[in-house]
Structure 1
């Protein structure tokens, strides 16, 4: 006589549904995303202004905050529930945590569904940009403190060569 396993008996006794465990294939993604964006930059300025009271030019120093447009590419790798993003130097602020080295930053809170990919990454203590990729259109948006980026992603085959 074959005896069923004790846990199976308990599951059947309490009405639990027991489904066989199957290994889901882990999706591996390598994306190249091209686009443009805006970031805030600060620069020191030194200029002259006309002082009407004294009737002469005076020197003026200060920090000037402006926005700068940029075009760049980012790379995204996702495998086994882990992910990373490679940022161009134009996107990385002067105050940053260094990432994982060589321009790569670890993706946190990764959510991969059939329709979209969502994640965030930590540039520094205050700046945690959010990434959203529409898997149907390939559109990517990245927004955080002092940075906005939009573009289009294409899947890459790491082993394939273009020529």
Structure 2
């Protein structure tokens, strides 16, 4: 039975290649070739004592998920970078905000927080969020609300 399944799988793959089709990749949703994405990158920005360095980036995926990668620091000890990511259409109208996948403030699911304990360190900030996937095609811009 195992040999039959292997043979059927190989045959389907060969047929798909012959027809010019691609089979879905296995693994994470973000590794799937069929999943569209949009990337938004920011230059150097500050809020109070806090600094976010050039290259901070949100990537939005067509399935309604989002990932963030940035480097941040503060000139003071025991600070925190607070961020709200707003999704906008081509005219700059707000479509909604990203919800934090790792809820840090139950009263504000759109708040993202990175603690900055030492002024002598730079911290890499990875975060993930979600949004209404039905609005993906409308999203053309993003803005970041920030506070330190």
TM-score range, shorter chain: 0.3 to 0.5
More helix by share: 2
Larger radius of gyration: 1
Q: Which has the higher contact order (CA 8 A, sep 6+)?
A: 2
Q: TM-score, normalised by structure 1?
A: 0.31
Q: TM-score, normalised by structure 2?
A: 0.34
More strand by share: 1
